[in-house]
Structure 1
Amino acid sequence: MSVPHLTTALRGPILELERRILEAMPTIEHWLRGKWQNYSIPFYCSVDLRNSGFKLAPVDTNLFPGGFNNLNPEFLPLCVQAMMAAVEKICPDAHSILLIPESHTRNIFYLQNVAVLRDIMRHAGMHVRIGSLMPEITSATTISLPDGNTLVLEPIQRTNNRLGVDNFDPCAVLLNNDLSSGIPDILKDLEQIVIPPLSAGWSTRRKSQHFFAYDSVAQEFAELIGIDPWLINPYFSSCGKIDFREKKGEECVAAAVDEILKDLQEKYAQYGVKEKPFVIVKADSGTYGMGIMTVKDSADVYKLNRKQRNKMTKIKEGLPVTRLLVQEGVYTFESINHAVAEPVIYMIDRYVVGGFYRVHTSRGADENLNAPGMHFVPLAFNTSCVLPNHTALPDAAVNRFYAYGVVARLALLAAALELERYLADISDPSLEALQS
């Protein structure tokens, strides 16, 4: 399959942005190499991007990616090489890893992701067992997957300060569980290294904290290659003490929407963008596309019906929403078979290992695509994100994917900065404000 159609590819500043990124490739790669030496890079990461034809920006960064099954299988060697580098860096003597997935067995697509992740680590030379946090898993349980593969879930055992499963004492514990509902006691104070760190889970992490870090990364990168940072960076704000059901905190949300829309109208006028600006309001933590709405006028915040209020009240595992990220809405003008699409880029350590398009046939270019009814198109990524062609047009597939890989790595760098700030100095006033 060819690269999805970008309806605005022949107009707007995105071509100029892609051209700048392409021309600055040696400078960019040198700059990133220096950054990777200064920070502890997240073990793995996925970044949701939106390409509006006049802007290319990340809108979400997940440190517990759950879609390895959606990657192009041809890029498995890239994944394996990156996994070798990631494991060697964190635990040079590692030969065995306990993989802890999310606590839901019914989502067969997610379990296929776990199987692919297990296979990548095995190819990288690891002994891998899968330990489940689910109380109903009391003995080794084999699950058959649609592709003919199988997955064996085993009950986790804790002996003193070490985790394992039956006759298996691993060097490290790899979480593919985002800890939305909190950090289980069984994971606390372990002798083994736990990757990602427990602080990367959604029980402590905030999206606003991430974009606060991304803001500084985008600013430095924009100065490096001479672009307007807005072209790669969405405006955002955050609000706490929210309860939509009780209509508490709405004033903060409406004020943030007004401010972002005002700033966007100025930018749209500057770049000759004819579309109407919009804002995305979403829970400040969590995944699975829950607790998200599109807003085009601050008055809409006060006009939510009961169903909409209930939708904005809870996220994954029924957790209450008390903090919101109010974020510039970035249009997606990419489409596959006339359905809107957005790229999702996957990284292991600092290496881009592939990606796929999230596609939704019943959603618009200004809506969240991470919703029931979405599907994934891995084979659109029929070329690597790391080999641009300087003789081709800036929006040729290889060059567009390279631009995606660059912006995704900026989000990865922001995640590294975010975790370091949080882990190193929780007393930082700006972070305290974000955490409160």
Structure 2
Amino acid sequence: MVPHLITALTGPINELEQRILESMPAVERWFRLEWMEHTPPFYCSVDVRNAGFKLAPVDTNLYPGGWNNLTPEMLPLAVQAAMAAVEKICPEAKNLLIVPENGKRSSFYLSNIAQLQRIFRMAGLNVRVGSIDPDIKKQTTIQIPHDDPVTLEPVVRGKHRLGLKNFDPCTILLNNDLTAGAPGILEDLHEQYLLPPLHAGWSVRRKSRHFQSYEDVAKRFGKMLGIDPWLVNPLFNRCGELDFAKSEGLDCLRANVDALMAKIRRKYKEYGINEKPFVVVKADYGSEGMGIMTVRDVKDLDQIRDRPKNKPPVVKGGKAITDVIIQEGVLTAERINDAVAEPVVYMMDRYVVGGFYRVHADRGIDENLNAPGAVYVPLAFAESTRLPQPGQKPGASAPNRFYMYGVIGRLAMLAASYELEATDPAAETYD
């Protein structure tokens, strides 16, 4: 299903599409050289927003769920990418252990785990699911509607290895974003590959650091293409040391929101954009769209002061938000059946393997769509034989637009590789 773009198919987004398509050999060579110098995250997903005048990532998840949203047609690409990734990391790998989120028993999430098992089994590995949830004390099989059952088993920790009873994996794949911190049971695994590494978890990771890396990538990419990096980059600020329960640090928040809104207005004026600018204030760590607030005017922040003091905003696991990223809001001009939609690009190793549209009928074009009530529609990446068509008129070809999504996704993945290098405890270079 192809989205309906309600914006006119003219202006910056089409110029950007044309420039990228005309420069495809240079773009692919640029990525190839980057991956020679930098290691991509093992897997990731990127939320992309297409405003009609800019195309930019708004979130990068290094522990993506939602693999069950990839259609069967996308599976061969994922399997090939999994083979390449495993061969690079541990060519002799025989067994792989998936460690899921604690406490998540929804059929949707477990279907995601079942899909990961399917992908890696087809890639030639014995795959089992080992839970670090203390509530899993014995082998537990959970039936899933319309999917294979998932069997959770309690992990067994040795001196330097993690596994299951009678199962010794070479590689451990985390599908747990470690918002609550890295548990000791996952530390000091000197003789196994842990993917992604512990410092990719939200106990260490910060969105502001990621988007600083992305800004650097976008500038270099823009220089290579001869385009304004803003067309692919959401501006941002950061504000720390907030205490929402005591209304402390809100002056810093107001000042940063005001400054960012002024920057966006200048860009809108430069490009003749008549939309009302906005920013999104969200926790600098954590996932699942929690703790998000859309700000269209600095006065909107007054509602924070009016919030009940016993109900401060939190991220997953109930952790209080003390640091926020203030991100340029990127409208979405895409619709599926009149509902607002945004593409989500899925990657493994350095390859785009598929994606889907996150669609929300009850949200506006300037609101977060990663919220209860969202539904998922597969992207046309399923038609893997349909390659980009450089000679097509901009905006006329779905494969061309999807190729652009993949370029933006890979830019975000490259930024994540920069970010992980900078936060690697072995490097000791981050603050």
TM-score, normalising length: structure 1: 0.95
Tell me if 1:218 matches 2:218.
yes
SS in structure 1 of the partner of residue 84 of structure 2: helix
| CA contact 1:291–1:311 (8 Å) conserved in 2 | no
CA distance in 2, matches of 1:225, 1:425: 34
Residue 317 of structure 2 is matched in structure 1 by 317
CA shift at 1:310, angstroms? 6.8
Which range is displaced more, 68-77 or 301-310?
301-310
Q: 1:81 to 1:309 in 2, by over 3 A?
A: farther
| CA contact 1:385–1:405 (8 Å) conserved in 2 | no
Q: 1:313 to 1:173 in 2, by over 3 A?
A: same
Residue 110 of structure 1 is matched in structure 2 by 109
SS in structure 2 of the partner of residue 318 of structure 1: coil
SS in structure 1 of the partner of residue 103 of structure 2: coil
Number of positions where the alignment pairs a residue of Structure 1 with one of Structure 2:
429
CA distance in 2, matches of 1:247, 1:385: 55
CA shift at 1:133, angstroms? 1.2
| CA contact 1:386–1:402 (8 Å) conserved in 2 | no
Residue 139 of structure 1 is matched in structure 2 by 138
CA distance in 1, matches of 2:151, 2:425: 37
CA distance in 1, matches of 2:46, 2:178: 18
| CA contact 1:82–1:353 (8 Å) conserved in 2 | yes
Residue 361 of structure 1 is matched in structure 2 by 361
What are the equivalent positions in structure 2 for 1:180-259 lying under 5 Å apart? Answer: 180-190=179-189, 191-259=191-259
Residue 84 of structure 2 is matched in structure 1 by 85
CA distance in 1, matches of 2:385, 2:70: 12
Tell me if 1:58 matches 2:57.
yes
CA distance in 2, matches of 1:198, 1:34: 27
Letter in 2 for 1:279: V
SS in structure 2 of the partner of residue 370 of structure 1: coil
Letter in 2 for 1:195: L
Which range is displaced more, 416-425 or 153-162?
416-425
| CA contact 2:343–2:379 (8 Å) conserved in 1 | no
Cα deviations by residue, 1:187-215 (Å, 9 ceiling, x for unpaired): 01012110100000001000001001011
Residue 128 of structure 1 is matched in structure 2 by 127
Residue 349 of structure 1 is matched in structure 2 by 349
CA distance in 2, matches of 1:387, 1:100: 35
| CA contact 1:384–1:401 (8 Å) conserved in 2 | no
Residue 400 of structure 1 is matched in structure 2 by 401
CA distance in 2, matches of 1:109, 1:315: 20
CA distance in 2, matches of 1:390, 1:284: 38
Which range is displaced more, 340-349 or 185-194?
185-194
Q: 1:366 to 1:311 in 2, by over 3 A?
A: farther
What are the equivalent positions in structure 2 for 1:59-74 lying under 5 Å apart? Answer: 59-74=58-73
Structure 1 alignment gaps of length 5 or more: none
Q: RMSD over aligned Cα, in angstroms?
A: 1.6
Q: 1:353 to 1:385 in 2, by over 3 A?
A: farther
CA distance in 2, matches of 1:319, 1:283: 10
Which range is displaced more, 327-336 or 132-141?
132-141
SS in structure 2 of the partner of residue 149 of structure 1: coil
| CA contact 1:115–1:151 (8 Å) conserved in 2 | yes
What are the equivalent positions in structure 2 for 1:383-398 lying under 5 Å apart? Answer: 383-384=383-384, 387-395=387-395, 396-398=397-399
CA distance in 2, matches of 1:179, 1:301: 30
Cα deviations by residue, 1:107-147 (Å, 9 ceiling, x for unpaired): 21011000001100000001111001111211111011111
Q: 1:421 to 1:386 in 2, by over 3 A?
A: farther
Cα deviations by residue, 1:385-405 (Å, 9 ceiling, x for unpaired): 982112323221100000000
| CA contact 1:45–1:347 (8 Å) conserved in 2 | yes
Residue 168 of structure 1 is matched in structure 2 by 167
Residue 101 of structure 1 is matched in structure 2 by 100
CA distance in 1, matches of 2:171, 2:332: 39
CA distance in 2, matches of 1:200, 1:298: 33
| CA contact 2:247–2:305 (8 Å) conserved in 1 | no
Q: 1:78 to 1:382 in 2, by over 3 A?
A: closer
Structure 2 alignment gaps of length 5 or more: none
Which range is displaced more, 86-95 or 296-305?
296-305
SS in structure 2 of the partner of residue 316 of structure 1: coil
CA shift at 1:411, angstroms? 0.3
CA distance in 1, matches of 2:258, 2:426: 33
SS in structure 2 of the partner of residue 353 of structure 1: strand
| CA contact 1:208–1:237 (8 Å) conserved in 2 | yes
Residue 4 of structure 2 is matched in structure 1 by 5
CA distance in 1, matches of 2:74, 2:99: 24
Letter in 1 for 2:215: D
Letter in 1 for 2:391: T
SS in structure 1 of the partner of residue 99 of structure 2: strand
Q: 1:30 to 1:379 in 2, by over 3 A?
A: closer
Which range is displaced more, 104-113 or 170-179?
104-113
Letter in 2 for 1:135: P
CA distance in 1, matches of 2:168, 2:182: 21
Letter in 1 for 2:392: A
CA shift at 1:54, angstroms? 0.2
CA shift at 1:266, angstroms? 0.9
CA distance in 2, matches of 1:318, 1:156: 25
| CA contact 1:352–1:385 (8 Å) conserved in 2 | no
Cα deviations by residue, 1:302-349 (Å, 9 ceiling, x for unpaired): 333655877762110111111100000000010101000000000000
CA distance in 2, matches of 1:341, 1:242: 32
| CA contact 1:98–1:164 (8 Å) conserved in 2 | yes
TM-score, normalising length: structure 2: 0.96
Residue 410 of structure 2 is matched in structure 1 by 409
CA distance in 2, matches of 1:310, 1:338: 38
CA distance in 1, matches of 2:267, 2:62: 31
CA distance in 2, matches of 1:246, 1:231: 38
CA shift at 1:252, angstroms? 1.4
Q: 1:290 to 1:386 in 2, by over 3 A?
A: farther
Percent identity, aligned pairs only? 57
What are the equivalent positions in structure 2 for 1:21-60 lying under 5 Å apart? Answer: 21-60=20-59
